[in-house]
Amino acid sequence: MAFVVSSGQLAVTGAGVMPGYATMPLPAAPWEYETIWRSQPQVRTVIGFIARNVAQLGIHVFRRLSDTDRERLTDHPLAQLLAEPLPRMTQYRFVERLVSDLALYDNAYGIKLRLNGQMRILPVPPTLIRPAEGNWIAPEYFETAGGRDFSVDEVVHIHGYTPEGLTYGSSPIESLRELLLESSESAKQRAAMWRGGARVTGVLKRPMDAPEWSRDEKRRFREMWRSFTSGGGAEGGTPILEDGMEYVPVGFNPEQAQYIEARKLTREEVSAAYFIPPPLIGILDHATYSNIREQHSHLYQDTLGPWLVMLEQEVGAQILPDLPDNRNVYAEFNIASKLRGSFEEQAAAASTATGRPWMTVNETRARNNLPAVEGGDSLIVPLNVTEGGLASPRDTAPDSADAVPKARGLPRTKASGRPSEIGTFAAERKALEKSLSAFTERQADQLMAAAGAKAGDMPDLLELWAAGSEDRLAQLQALLADHGYRLAQVGAWEVLDTWNPEADGWSAEVMLAWVLAAAETHAEQHEEAGREAVAVVQEEGGDGWRETLQTAAAAWGTAAAARALTASTELRSFGGHDAASASGLTQKIWRTGGKNPRASHKAQDGEAVNLDDVFSNGLRWPGDGKGRTEELVNCNCTLDYAKEG
């Protein structure tokens, strides 16, 4: 066991910056990777995605007691080290840096320290340390940019594969170098075009039979043309082409250059190099509700699983042996919390697995922040479980046909077939509001950061906004479609639970096309609301533009909450209407809801129309996107359904 002993002065490690270190011969060129990470947004997006998702898991330490039993250790030296690798460094930041270094350089380094009697790990950028001497199997020591050498036992070195040997890894960036260079050159060309006023280059053609110009006439025309083309044509007036002259454009326009397609290709190639499904990083060209949900469920298995196994084993091989009481101790990422289903899914699975109810009344009350009640600490076991021979309380005996009311217009009372993962309307609406508000806040922060990074006068805010518009719209549509599909099912089952518990003749998948179209509409409307807010700031200008932009961002965030309620009402209403049609219902009744309903909605409370007709306010259902805006915003109304006869 070997440590760098320090009493709190980390500088004694000697891992400082030395000019010229980048010129030292290394297996690769790590200082170039740093430049690529800073300048290539696609690389930063992918690496950041991996590092952040691994870092937020958290690492737990366990002792294996037997093949089927283990003990969680919270005060073990390894648990304390991982919780605080350095004073004031969190576990999240430590793991984020470790994974980022591995993803970018395929090498990650840390120096083992003994600070005030405790082991610590000092992460060292791969540009400041390298393996030295030795052979292809193992280095003799590690040297740093500060000139100090460290023995192999004093350094934690995690690396990937390279064909040349076993002492370092080969960065995936190497395989992407040509593609990234092409992308960089394309960006330079695009920037040059905008600096030149975004004008198309071309030539002037003059007919051969045109009269010859005098020297003064040539000079006059040349000055006129220069005045027009100065600043991209913004400063001049309308050019006059004399004697039948013709302007012929030369070069590519942005559409022909396929800039957007090139950017997508770069992100797709980078994500492929790191084995990440494209929809997870915002490439939604072929995304659907089902495959996005499936890929999220596989994220911590197939995509990040190899990373987690590697890091767990490296901790056991390079750090744990230096700590006391390490027998049968191991570290494990808390992946279980990410792979669990919803509470409803977990409750159903636990109930089936145990064959009986598994929570007491007081345990359930505690989950909902309610006080315990007398007699609430005993499990309530239904008689059909203990005496009826059923395997699970979720099983039910067949319903007698005579037990179902047959009178027309009366709701049936059979057990509902509602999927357990579909929550209540209030919960699903709140989830959409939270997701949409968080997304809006992130996008506003990114715009503020981009605008704030421009020194001097106010930048072109609309140009900054347009630069991210396509990605924003795609992400918005995916977010709204995900929540919208659930909200539509909530509305459908509110009707099916009463009128058609077996969902005969109805399928949730039939609603998906409509939900996707609604998501696209709401995404465009929310995007346009943000653009209009930015346009107002751009138009007002002035020295206080930053404060005005912050106010506009806050207003856009407020609009997100209203948008969530409007979309939720529409999707719930559509789902209920679709289920009512499939269930043979023929009438719909407007029910005014909310604390302060608008006058037109209050006046039509109880109004009944045929299922395919519209109400007196012109809406098919509350929140109907085809209605006037003033009839939709913040609407909390609902529908009831009935059969004629």
Query: pLDDT by residue (tens digit) across 385-404?
Result: 544 444 444 444 444 333 33
At residue 251 the predicted structure's pLDDT band, cuts being 50, 70 and 90, is: low
- pLDDT tens-digit profile of 28-77? 455 578 888 888 888 888 899 999 999 998 899 999 988 878 899 999 99
At residue 81 the predicted structure's pLDDT band, cuts being 50, 70 and 90, is: very high
Residues 6+ apart with CB under 8 A from 551: none
pLDDT at 353: 62
Name the percent of the chain lying above pLDDT 90: 18
Whether residue 11 is predicted with pLDDT greater than 60 in this model: the reply is no
Q: Pairing state of beta strands 59-66 and 638-642?
A: unpaired
Q: Report the C-alpha gap between 460 and 605 in whole angstroms.
A: 49
Average pLDDT, the chain: 77
Instruction: List the one residue out of 43, 32, 27 whose CA is nearest residue 179.
Output: 43
Q: Report the C-alpha gap between 605 and 639 in whole angstroms.
A: 10
pLDDT at 402: 39
User: Is there a contact between 628 and 618 (Cβ–Cβ < 8 Å)?
Assistant: yes
Residues 6+ apart with CB under 8 A from 133: 139, 140, 141
Q: Out of 170-174, 391-395, 489-493, 625-629, which region has the weakest mean confidence (pLDDT)?
A: 391-395
More confident of the two residues 30 and 414: 30
pLDDT at 277: 77
Q: Identify any residues that bridge with 609 across adjacent strands, giving them in sequence order.
A: 588
User: Is there a contact between 270 and 42 (Cβ–Cβ < 8 Å)?
Assistant: yes
Q: Report the C-alpha gap between 279 and 286 in whole angstroms.
A: 8
Q: What is the mean pLDDT of residues 317-328?
A: 92
Whether residue 417 is predicted with pLDDT greater than 50 in this model: the reply is yes
Q: Report the C-alpha gap between 532 and 469 in whole angstroms.
A: 13
Q: Report the C-alpha gap between 218 and 216 in whole angstroms.
A: 5
pLDDT at 109: 95
pLDDT at 411: 38
Q: Which two tokens stand for residue 76?
A: 């073990």
Segment holding 605, helix H or strand E? none
pLDDT at 348: 64
Whether residue 16 is predicted with pLDDT greater than 50 in this model: the reply is no
pLDDT at 28: 44
Q: Report the C-alpha gap between 449 and 609 in whole angstroms.
A: 52
pLDDT at 106: 93
Q: Report the C-alpha gap between 469 and 475 in whole angstroms.
A: 10
Residues 6+ apart with CB under 8 A from 139: 131, 132, 133, 152, 167
Q: What is the mean pLDDT of residues 205-223?
A: 84
pLDDT at 549: 83
- pLDDT tens-digit profile of 253-264? 555 455 556 566
Instruction: List the one residue out of 508, 512, 509 whose CA is nearest residue 481.
Output: 512
b/e burial code for range 620-645 (CB count within 10 A of at least 16 → b): bbbbbbebeeebbeebbbbbbbbeee
Q: What is the mean pLDDT of residues 14-21?
A: 39
- pLDDT tens-digit profile of 335-370? 876 665 555 556 666 666 666 677 788 887 777 777
User: Is there a contact between 157 and 142 (Cβ–Cβ < 8 Å)?
Assistant: yes
What's the gap between Cα 491 and its chain centre? 27
Q: Report the C-alpha gap between 341 and 191 in whole angstroms.
A: 47
Instruction: List the one residue out of 77, 137, 84, 144 whose CA is nearest residue 109.
Output: 144
Q: Pairing state of beta strands 587-591 and 155-159?
A: unpaired
Instruction: List the one residue out of 94, 110, 76, 495 whose CA is nearest residue 325.
Output: 76
Q: Report the C-alpha gap between 568 and 483 in whole angstroms.
A: 9
Of the chain, the end-to-end C-alpha distance in Å amounts to 87
Domain segments of the chain: what residues? Answer: 4-174, 343-397, 425-642
The Cα-based distances of 481 to 329, 508, 517, 521, 626 in angstroms read: 45, 14, 9, 11, 18
pLDDT at 60: 92
User: Is there a contact between 122 and 110 (Cβ–Cβ < 8 Å)?
Assistant: yes
More confident of the two residues 273 and 402: 273
Whether residue 108 is predicted with pLDDT greater than 70 in this model: the reply is yes
Residues 6+ apart with CB under 8 A from 466: none
CA atoms within 13 A of residue 548's CA, in its CB half-sphere: 15
